[in-house]
Structure 1
């Protein structure tokens, strides 16, 4: 569907000039009658296949509509990623009930229909529904491995008082997994696994409601696939004291999560690493 972006409506700058939006992302000088009429149609929305016929009926010369569209293209609405409508919020006993309830309310305000699951517990009933793994400080390796084994897309939502980390979105067999993130962190700091192990399971009782609401909105956008490709996936870090930061994660060469045999092989590797390799003590 071709449509003018509501952020950039056509504005008459003078009797003979039109600009799109206050920032003038595109301009037209002495637009013709058919162009003005076509702009009206584009304001309501027009199927791309119908453009030549509609333009011709308005008096446009052959091929002129395509040139006109290219001229005003910065003012056209861009396709949007489909926002998820359902998700499972998986919670453990390391996050206070008040924090969980605030997050659930924020997710609902963002248009996300959620159901609640408890970790440890049964695997998700529908692998097609993504899981938001709510945890304090980090996601336990066994929890991450179970989600990989179930072949469920999952998004870590890590609360730590004045800081919330969202992501990366893990699509088993496609993106970096949480073991990849742990291995990368260990490459940067050999002492990191010991530090992470001391945080695992440490509870959080209070998180800024404003921070949770902002992070919830970011989480819904990440669930739509924003910032995620087969080669990279994004983690966002939000704090009460500084600006939003983002990190890009790639699959780690020592993690088998993207092996040709599928995500199950990667999960098996993660489980073995969790029990025998201290570098996987913290996968998020």
Structure 2
């Protein structure tokens, strides 16, 4: 369907010039009558196959419609990825119920119908639905491994008080997984596994609602890329800063996530939970 983007309506800046959008993205000088009429039709939308016939009926010369589209192409509506309408939100007991409810409400406002799944527990019955893996500080390795072994597309949403990390969208066998991210962090800091282990199970009681709403909006955008065929994926770090921080990720060379034999166990090597209270644990 060919349609003018509502953000760039045709505006007459003079009796002989029309621009598209208040901040002009395209301008036509002295448009012909057929061009004005075709622009009007594009305001409501035209099937691409019907364009030549409609243009000819309006008096356009051969090839005129194609030239017009080229001239105003910045003002045309671009295809948008479909917004996911259903997803599973997988919740562990390290996130306060009020925080979960706020995020669920924000996702619902974005048009996503959610099913609730608890961790630990059974994997969602419909493996075709993407899973939003909500966690405090980090996703437990056993949980990440179970999602990978079940071949479920999943999106981590990790809460850390004044910061929320969203992504990357993990498509098993294609993109980087959470074990890949753990290995990358360990490459940068050999002490990362010990530090991360002390956060496993440490609860989050409060997160700013504004951060949760922003996280929901970005989560829906990332979920719209489900089925991606590129190994590069993006993680966002949201905070009080004016803009999110974008972190690209690639599969780690030492991770077995893209090997069927390594999928179910690849995540356990990077981070291990402590057996005692993580708030008081000290390295030996």
Task: Report the TM-score when normalising by structure 1.
Answer: 0.93
Partner residue in 1 for 2:148: 148
Alpha-carbon deviations, 1:248-267, whole Å to 9, x = none? 001111112223xxxx3341
Partner residue in 1 for 2:165: 165
1:182–1:281: 8 Å Cα contact kept in structure 2? no
Partner residue in 1 for 2:276: none
Partner residue in 2 for 1:91: 91
Alpha-carbon deviations, 1:72-122, whole Å to 9, x = none? 000000000100000111001100011011111111111110010100000
> SS of the counterpart of 1:138?
coil
> SS of the counterpart of 1:210?
helix
- What RMSD over aligned residues (CA atoms) do the two structures have, in Å? 1.6
Task: Report the TM-score when normalising by structure 2.
Answer: 0.93
> SS of the counterpart of 2:37?
helix
Partner residue in 1 for 2:261: 265
CA spacing shift, 1:248–1:281, aligned 2, 3 Å: farther
Partner residue in 2 for 1:240: 240
Partner residue in 2 for 1:71: 71
Deviation beyond 6 Å, 4+ runs, structure 1 = none
5+ long unaligned stretches in structure 2: 274-284
Partner residue in 2 for 1:174: 174
Q: Distance in 2 between matches of 1:60 and 1:119?
A: 63
> SS of the counterpart of 1:265?
coil
1:169–1:234: 8 Å Cα contact kept in structure 2? yes
Q: Which structure has the highest helix share of the two?
A: 1
Partner residue in 1 for 2:278: none
> SS of the counterpart of 2:212?
helix
Matches of residues 244-259 of structure 1 in structure 2 within 5 Å?
244-259=244-259
5+ long unaligned stretches in structure 1: none
Q: Distance in 2 between matches of 1:202 and 1:27?
A: 57
Alpha-carbon deviations, 1:15-63, whole Å to 9, x = none? 0000000111000000001100100110001111111111111111111
User: In terms of mean alpha carbon deviation, does 217-226 or 13-22 score higher?
Assistant: 217-226
